[in-house]
Amino acid sequence: MIRSFIARRNTAQLLKCKVDELSMRSVYLPEFNIIYLINPKVASSTIIYSLLLLDKEQYGRDLEDFYGIDARRRISSERDPVGFYRHLRERRAYVFSLVRHPFTRALSCYRDKIYGPQRSRFRAYLNLDLERKVSFVEFLSAVAKQQPAEMNRHWRPQGWLLPEETGAFIKRFEDLPSAFHEIATEAGISELSIHDFRPHATHSNEAYPPDDGLVRQIYAEDFRRFGYEP
């Protein structure tokens, strides 16, 4: 129990996130020697679903609802915190994640979390009005008032969610099919293929509303580190 707690604490420090978020922020499949660090609003549902299909017999019960806390604990670091941290620290597993252009990621978050089924919870998190129309600029203005550590992971800067210390291979959402092929090749898992699953798709690559320069301000480090053009 003590070793498990220390492993969770050390891993949380490495990933710069709270211990109780780990079960929502990783997919750990030691039998395939692979770790996926979840980056919300970056095809995470599709990626999790595709990974679980590697062993449908074992993970079949989680395929229908891998958003639940119990399911996430069965497929994340929580299944074996000591093993997870050892794999991560000693580079024993193929660790990967995907990033997305800050503009479309922020817009996807706005459309899904501020106007989606759970909008009351997320609006309250940002002290936004629960009834009236909230503009994209108002959403970003509220986000800009928070420090990264205070932000919900859905709009937290990607560089903060994916610190370089993890040694993760970073691919781009915009190149998803070819990126996933690269992941399968680099991980040495020939049976890994992408299976489209998008319950929260918002089609945010379409017309983009004004943002008053706030995306550049909030996500300046993401633009720099991941090489996206403002």
2-55 tens-digit pLDDT? 666 666 666 666 666 666 677 679 999 999 999 999 999 999 999 999 999 999
Q: First CA to last CA across the chain, in angstroms?
A: 47
Q: Are residues 222 and 228 in contact, defined by beta-carbon separation less than 8 angstroms?
A: yes
Lowest mean pLDDT among 5-9, 44-48, 114-118, 132-136: 5-9
Lowest mean pLDDT among 64-73, 126-135, 168-177, 195-204: 195-204
Supply the pLDDT for residue 5.
65
Supply the pLDDT for residue 90.
86
**HEC string of 164-195?**
HHHCCEEEEHHHHHHHHHHHHHHHCCCCCCCC
Supply the pLDDT for residue 112.
93
Supply the pLDDT for residue 8.
66
Give the single-character DSSP code of 114.
Answer: I
Mean pLDDT calculated for residue range 141-147 = 96
Length of the chain counted residue by residue: 230
Share of the chain above pLDDT 90, in %: 62
pLDDT digits (tens, 9 = 90+) for 78-113: 999 999 988 888 888 999 999 999 999 999 999 999
Mean pLDDT in the chain? Answer: 88
